[in-house]
Amino acid sequence: MNLNRRHFLKLLGTTTVTASIATTATTAATILASPKAFAQGISSNSSGPFSLPPLPYDYAALEPYIDADTMRFHHDRHHAAYVNNLNAAIGRHPQLVNQSAIALLKNLDSIPEDIRSIVQNNGGGHVNHSMFWEIMTPKGGGAPTGNIATAINENFGSFAVLKQQFNDAGLKRFGSGWAWLVLTKAGKLEVTSTANQDSPFMTGDFPILGNDLWEHAYYLKYQNLRGDYLNAWWNVINWAEVNKRLEKSLEMAIAS
């Protein structure tokens, strides 16, 4: 992929990104070599190369939009299970120990067949959730600011249009999965969705923003009202973190 700098400068239209793009050669190389800067929580621990990242806030910090019991079960049990399963699978093939979770997902065809689906499901669950905790924050939400606001307006016309498309994608995803705002290989922001724990990294896209559509993410509070959950979730978005993900995604896209 040959993405030029002028395209991204036009996309974002800011002087701050100009400075960032000017250092792409070094920063992108660092990110590609160690995608831990992009997806948190993959440092070594005693049971394997991947570990459960701590929540960056208290269980109850996102109330009334996401309740404490949901956060506790979601993080401490569901995400922890993905990490444990991924470590167990990688333990069967020690040659994979030094690869990041993102690298594993981007190169699934090279993963030994006996653990490929385990890595897809649990590696995706680990990367997706590591992002999920970071892009939410207490007293978040509101309209986007910074470079992501410029990019949203450029690609969707307005934040309202993005929200509508994103929520529609979430409602139309049958069963479990995720709704996403991604930077595509062509360098555009798009709304998409994936089944189960599949990651946009698997198809060469870069996840900027994603909402968990599995029932364990919302059922204790919203029961079958997924639409209410999708609407409420915008009140906890951490736009500062989303801006960081956008910048890192642009760097990775240009370098790939």
* pLDDT digit string, tens, across residues 1-48: 344 444 554 554 443 333 333 333 333 333 333 333 333 333 334 478
Res 115 pLDDT > 60: yes
Task: Domain of residue 86: give its range.
Answer: 36-134
Res 107 pLDDT > 60: yes
Q: In this structure, which amino acid lies at residue 14?
A: T
* pLDDT digit string, tens, across residues 59-75: 999 999 999 999 999 99
Residue 154 and residue 121 share a domain: no
Phi/psi for 232 (5° steps) reads: -70, -30
Residue 129 and residue 151 share a domain: no
β-strand pairing of 177-183 with 189-195: antiparallel
Residue 100 and residue 169 share a domain: no
How many structural domains comprise the chain? Answer: 2
Phi-psi region of 13 (alpha: psi -120 to 50; beta: other; left: phi over 0): left
Higher pLDDT, 146 or 4: 146
At 154, which CATH number?
3.55.40.20
pTM check: above 0.85:
no
* Residues 6 or more apart in contact with residue 234 via CB below 8 angstroms: 141, 163
Residue 250 and residue 177 share a domain: yes
Among 105, 134, 163, give the residue marking a domain's end. 134
